[in-house]
Amino acid sequence: MNKYVIKRGIFSSLKTITLLLLVLIILFPFWQLIVSSLLETNAIISYPPKFWPKGGSVNNYVEVLTMQGGAYMRWMANSLLVSGTNTILVILVAAMAGYAFAKRKFPGRSVLLNIVIATQIIPSVTTLIPLFLIVSKLGWVNTYKSLIFPGVANAFGVYMMTQFMKDIPDSLLEAATIDGCGEYGKFFKIVMPITVPQLSLLAIFNFTNQWGSLTWPLITVNETMMKTLPLGIASMKDLNGTLTGTIMAASMISFIPLLIAFIFASDKFIEGMTLGAVKG
């Protein structure tokens, strides 16, 4: 028994040490970003590398927030508008499509769902040129429309919501129908509240993806004040020369909205992940 207890204690200790090492490995790049954002460019590129912000200051942050014409704050506002609006539309479309595929019977339902699922294997890069041609013909280049509307019909979101909505009891919807509730009433008053955890999970995934998107904004936007944060930060080298410290500070500030969004939605996010794991 004593040997068993000792072996179990050693295994537990090794597991704890391994987890701590993994946490340190994951957090180290983030810590280095914080350190670099507080140092001047010469200190960042010096050797040996600095792992502590000795002699650092917030000058880089001040420079970012006071960029000429308020460019950085405009990029931040653009990203918030684009990511937020796109996420709301993705949630609405995915939920409505998922409800139709899961609970409504119509000809070709299975075929259409399989087509939607099949589109996920198509590399997104292959659709960039056709999508740009469509956006260009519509006159959406350098507008918020080009950044918001493409991608609203999210195949992953539709499939995800379809799978979750299949588990909603048909008897619940039938009872609502007997009580005089129409299709829109059943969807908005019953289905949507039930699937809030899954919708929150989809919202965080989509918001994060949109927030960090660079390729599509790079293609459709070339005006400075229409850029989103990733595109704006990528262009800072051209605007101000090679200012690594300033770019690090800009990157650090861009992380804050994601952190706030996750904090507010963390409970629903974890609940959605848990339900997904149990379902699987």
CATH number of residue 99's parent domain: 1.10.3720.10
Q: Is the pLDDT of residue 145 over 50?
A: yes
> What dihedral angle (degrees, nearest 10) is formed by the CA atoms of 258, 22, 37, 215?
-50
Q: Is the pLDDT of residue 240 over 50?
A: yes
Give me the percent of the chain exceeding a pLDDT of 90: 26
Neighbours of 83 (CB within 10 A): 25
pLDDT bin (cut points 50, 70, 90) of residue 241 is low
Please list, in sequence order, all residues whose beta carbon lies within 8 angstroms of the beta carbon of residue 149, skipping any fewer than 6 positions away.
86, 89, 140
Mean of the pLDDT values across residues 205-233?
90
Residue 26 lies in a domain: no
Residue 206 lies in a domain: yes
Query: Closest Cα partner for 195 from 261, 103, 124?
Result: 103
Q: Is the pLDDT of residue 53 over 90?
A: no
pLDDT value for 135:
92
Residue 158: exposure state from Cβ atoms within 10 A (0-12, 13-18, ≥19): buried
Please list, in sequence order, all residues whose beta carbon lies within 8 angstroms of the beta carbon of residue 264, skipping any fewer than 6 positions away.
none
- Average per-residue pLDDT in the chain? 84
pTM, 2 dp = 0.82
- Give the C-alpha separation, 143 to 151, whole Å: 15
Which amino acid, 240? Answer: N
- Give the C-alpha separation, 93 to 87, whole Å: 10
- Give the C-alpha separation, 69 to 36, whole Å: 25
Residue 45 lies in a domain: no
Residue 260 lies in a domain: yes
Give the residue, 280 or 169, on which the prediction is more confident. 169
pLDDT bin (cut points 50, 70, 90) of residue 243 is low
Lowest mean pLDDT across 33-37, 75-79, 134-138:
33-37
Q: Is the pLDDT of residue 239 over 60?
A: no
Mean of the pLDDT values across residues 40-57?
75
Mean of the pLDDT values across residues 258-269?
73
Neighbours of 229 (CB within 10 A): 28
Return phi, psi of residue 107, to 5°: -60, 135
C-beta separation of 232 from 75 below 8 A:
yes
Please list, in sequence order, all residues whose beta carbon lies within 8 angstroms of the beta carbon of residue 126, skipping any fewer than 6 positions away.
none
Count of domains forming the chain? 1
The alpha carbon of residue 109 and the mean position of all alpha carbons in its chain are separated, in whole angstroms, by: 29
Which amino acid, 93? Answer: V
Residue 194 lies in a domain: yes
Lowest mean pLDDT across 54-63, 157-166, 205-214, 233-242:
233-242
Return phi, psi of residue 179, to 5°: -75, 0
Q: Is the pLDDT of residue 33 over 80?
A: yes
Residue 140 lies in a domain: yes
The alpha carbon of residue 256 and the mean position of all alpha carbons in its chain are separated, in whole angstroms, by: 13
Residue 46 lies in a domain: no
Residue 150 lies in a domain: yes
> For residue 133, what are the domain limits?
58-279
